[in-house]
Amino acid sequence: MGGIFGVVSQGDCTMDLYFGIDYHSHLGTKNGGMAVFTEKGFDRSIHGLENSQFRSKFENAAARMHGHVGIGCISDSEPQPLIIRSKLGHFAITTVGRINNLKELVKELLEKQGANFLEMSGGEINPTEVVATLINQKNSISEGIRYAQTRIDGSMSLLVANEKGIYCGRDLVGRTPIIIAQKDDGSLCASFESHAYLNLGYRTIRELGPGEVVFLSQKGVESKIPPYHKKRVCSFLWTYYGYPTATYEGVNVEESRYRCGAMMAEADKDKNLELDSVGGIPDSGLAAAIGYANASGVPFKRPFIKYTPTWPRSFMPTQQSVRNLIAHMKLIPVHELIQDKKLLFIDDSIVRGTQLRETVDFLYRSGAKEVHVRPACPPIMYGCKYINFSRSTSDMDLIARRMIVKLEGGVPSEERLALYTDTSTQEYKNMVEEIRKEMHFTSLQFPSLDMLVKSIGIPECELCTYCWNGKE
Ligand code: SF4
């Protein structure tokens, strides 16, 4: 994933930019960057974030940079923002999204347009540079943004800053958000996360619509391209990677997770589970666990507690073995809450299942009598092909897919696969039972997609649910 943030201030934008980007740190761990238009042109700084947090890495840059326009990002992939000189002038660009047809676009731009690209280590081309080159094919930045978005297979939200202000473009179907907010003195910001500017004194004006492009300047917000009607907001914003304090499309993440937990409690109410406690796998499972506990009357407890003084972040390094090690090291068990207890845990989702199985095995070794698991979303069937969402990689890594292959004796046809996404079929029930056995849970129940959509509270036709049902 990743997050983007930009400021056009009446005075110096740098400290607002610095803190605003930092409040996107839960969205990525690979690179951070900020660029401010100063008296001498753009001043830009980029650092890797795998071993250190944004604030500590950018302290010096923030003290050095001064100007009234700035943009930046937390990126799980390429280094950004990039500074570009072109026929459209001098601009900085930062993006969030995914380009599935990157190779084809690069080939076309090299052959037909005579473009050239800097090569990153490993021979890769920086996708944000390709977006900038597509923008430069047109006669204005707004037209260029629209052209780039229509040529990209995937999704692309972006900020483009010049000396006057910031062009903000939300991806064509609004999978990722861009929110505009303002301070009393007229300063404006554009943000992926709605909580990122609250402590800086900004108040939300509005969220951009799908495909909408606006220009922020010291004079205000100027509409450049109106929104499209088709909307497919990523449901995982509420399920997993949105921060609990964030609100998208008017729906707060924490509240939607309470609703999801309450619906799962309702689905369990006749099962006589006689639970001692309900807990959430920190951090993204906690809110749904609170919702379950409040609705069921079973006490909410924390048999695992995250060691926050040194493991404060919810995202993990990109290398799977390091992720597993960190997941294990950062959670400390409370034996008094585990020994001889019947526990129910809520996790945000089950992707590969590796970490959760290790956690559950550890609970049994620590004396738990029963471990019931309720993931807060349906089984994930398809890896994300729209945004760089690092949780779901290849389809065959997904535990649901692996169990289906086991049950079917091979890779199923699309028609057979569809049977496993329908909660009323025997195939679906068999798959859930296979996952339960594989993961050593006492019981396992997923919410239906309908429950998930209801907990978010937005019509299903406005949500992307591809991960669960493969619908584009
Ligand atoms: S496929 Fe999944 S992760 Fe990707 S945009 Fe859709 S809901 Fe979000």
Same domain, 222 and 324: no
Spatial separation of the C-alpha atoms in residues 359 and 314, rounded to whole Å:
16
Beta partners for 179?
191, 207
pLDDT in the model for residue 331: 81
pLDDT of residue 316 exceeding 60, the answer is no
CA 363 to chain centre: 29
Based on the fold, state whether residues 54 and 200 are members of the same structural domain: yes
Give the mean model confidence (pLDDT) for residues 451-472: 95
Ligand 1 centroid to Cα of residue 455, in Å, is 17
Residue whose CA is closest, atom 1 of ligand 1? 384
Q: What is the pLDDT of residues 126-141, one digit of tens each?
A: 999 999 999 999 999 9
- pLDDT value at 102 more than 60: yes
Question: 226-235, 381-390, 419-428: which has the minimum mean pLDDT?
Answer: 381-390
Among candidate residues 16, 51, 11, the one with its CA nearest the CA of residue 34: 16
Look at ligand 1, atom 5, and give the residue with the nearest C-alpha. 234
pLDDT computed for residue 388 by the predictor: 72
Helix or strand run (H / E) with residue 362: helix 354-365
User: Do 195 and 330 fall within a single domain?
Assistant: no
What φ, ψ does residue 195 adopt, rounded to 5°?
-90, -10
pLDDT of residue 328: 75
Question: Is the per-residue pLDDT at 392 higher than 60?
Answer: no
Atom of ligand 1 nearest to the CA of 383: 1
Please check whether residue 147 lies inside any domain of the structure. Answer: yes
For ligand 1, atom 3: residue with the closest CA = 384
Strands 277-280, 342-347: pairing is parallel
Could you tell me if 215 and 141 lie in one domain? yes
Choosing from 1, 98, 175, 351 the residue with most ligand 1 atoms within 8 A of its CB, the one to mutate for a pocket test is 175
In this structure, which amino acid lies at residue 2? G
Residues 223 and 261 in one domain: no
Indicate which CATH number applies to the domain containing 213: 3.60.20.10
Structure-token match 């923008």, residue found: 135
What digits encode the pLDDT tens for the residues 174-183?
999 999 999 9
The alpha carbon of 317 and the centre of ligand 1 are apart by a number of angstroms equal to 20
Both 279 and 227 in one domain: the answer is no
How many domains does the structure of the chain reveal? 2
Question: From the CB of residue 323, how many other CB atoms can be counted at a distance below 10 Å?
Answer: 17
The token pair at 341 is 């207890």
Residues 44 and 180 in one domain: yes
Q: Are residues 349 and 316 in the same domain?
A: yes
Residue 247 in any domain: the answer is: no
Say if 248 falls within a structural domain: no
> Same structural domain for residues 10 and 153?
yes
- Give the distance (Å) from ligand 1 centre to CA of residue 118: 30
The residue among 98, 140, 103 whose CA lies nearest residue 384 is: 98
Q: What is the mean pLDDT of residues 356-383?
A: 94
Average pLDDT over residues 149-176: 97
Residue 376 near residue 285, CB atoms below 8 Å: yes
Q: Which residue range forms the structural domain that includes residue 220?
A: 2-231
Is the predicted pLDDT of residue 324 greater than 80, yes or no? no
The tokens describing 317, both together, are: 């390094």
Least confident window among 8-17, 115-124, 135-144, 268-277: 115-124
Q: What is the mean pLDDT of residues 41-52?
A: 92
Question: Which pair of tokens denotes residue 165?
Answer: 């202000």
- Alpha helices (H) in 227-319, listed in sequence order: 236, 253-268, 286-296
Whether ligand 1 lies within 6 angstroms of the CB of 235 is answered as yes
The pLDDT score that the predictor gives to residue 233 is 97
For the cut 90, the answer to whether the pLDDT of residue 397 exceeds it is: no
How many CB atoms neighbour CB 83 within 10 A?
Answer: 16
Q: Are residues 403 and 459 in the same domain?
A: yes
pLDDT, residue 317, reads 59
Average pLDDT, the chain: 93
Closest atom, ligand 1, to C-alpha of 463? 7
Is there a domain that residue 237 lies in? no
Asked whether residue 245 is domain-assigned, the answer is no
Q: For 10-39, how does the pLDDT look when each residue is reduced to its tens digit (9 = 90+)?
A: 999 999 999 999 999 999 888 999 999 999
241 occurs within a structural domain? no
The pLDDT, as a whole number, for residue 314 is 47
Do the beta carbons of residue 169 and residue 150 sit within 8 Å?
Answer: no
CA of 238 to the centre of ligand 1 (A): 11
Residue 236 lies inside a defined structural domain of this protein: no
Q: Of 130, 137, 187, 189, nearest to 161 (Cα)?
A: 189
What confidence category does residue 393 fall into, taking pLDDT thresholds of 50, 70 and 90? Answer: low
CA of 376 to the centre of ligand 1 (A): 15
